[in-house]
Amino acid sequence: MMRRCVVLGLALVTACDSGRLGAPRGSTGGTAGTSGGVTAAGLVGTWRRVLFFIADDGSAGSNETIWRFDSNGTASRASVTRNYSAGVADVQTVDARWEPLSESVRITYLPPSSGTFEFSYRVTGDTLFLASQAYGRVSR
């Protein structure tokens, strides 16, 4: 189904990116961990991205993704889909482990989900660019 997207929110205002998702000077990017635990202090915290849209049938909705990266290497991703016109929402949560690499983060989904993925990332101020998608910081 074709959707006309209305992109709202501070995290989404950054429409143009250089495409380089390594760690540019002056930002916190993927830094290899040190012995004794996971380090990538800039990535630790809760991050949120929301896309609002009007579907072809005129219904209003949104897709929200919330990532939480804990300093002990655990993570979670919540995906919330809302249909404001119908007054319904669907939430899916996935637990994971994460490991910072030199310019990317490796995320391994835990059962009942599965899969290991490597995403480029960088943090600039209160914005996380994870696989080219901008997320606003919710908390540290």
- For each of the domains in the chain, give its residue range(s) and CATH number, in order of start: 3-139 (2.40.128.360)
The beta-strand segments (E) located in 7-139 are: 28-29, 45-55, 60-69, 74-83, 88-100, 104-109, 116-124, 127-130, 133-139
The pTM assigned to this predicted structure is: 0.72
Successive 10-residue mean pLDDT values, the chain, 140 residues: 37 33 35 45 93 94 97 96 95 96 92 95 93 94
pLDDT of residue 28: 38
Tokens at 57, concatenated: 């049938």
pLDDT of residue 140: 87
- Residue 66 carries which DSSP code? E
CB 94 within 8 A of CB 109: yes
pLDDT of residue 50: 97
pLDDT in tens, 102-133: 889 999 999 999 999 999 999 999 999 999 99
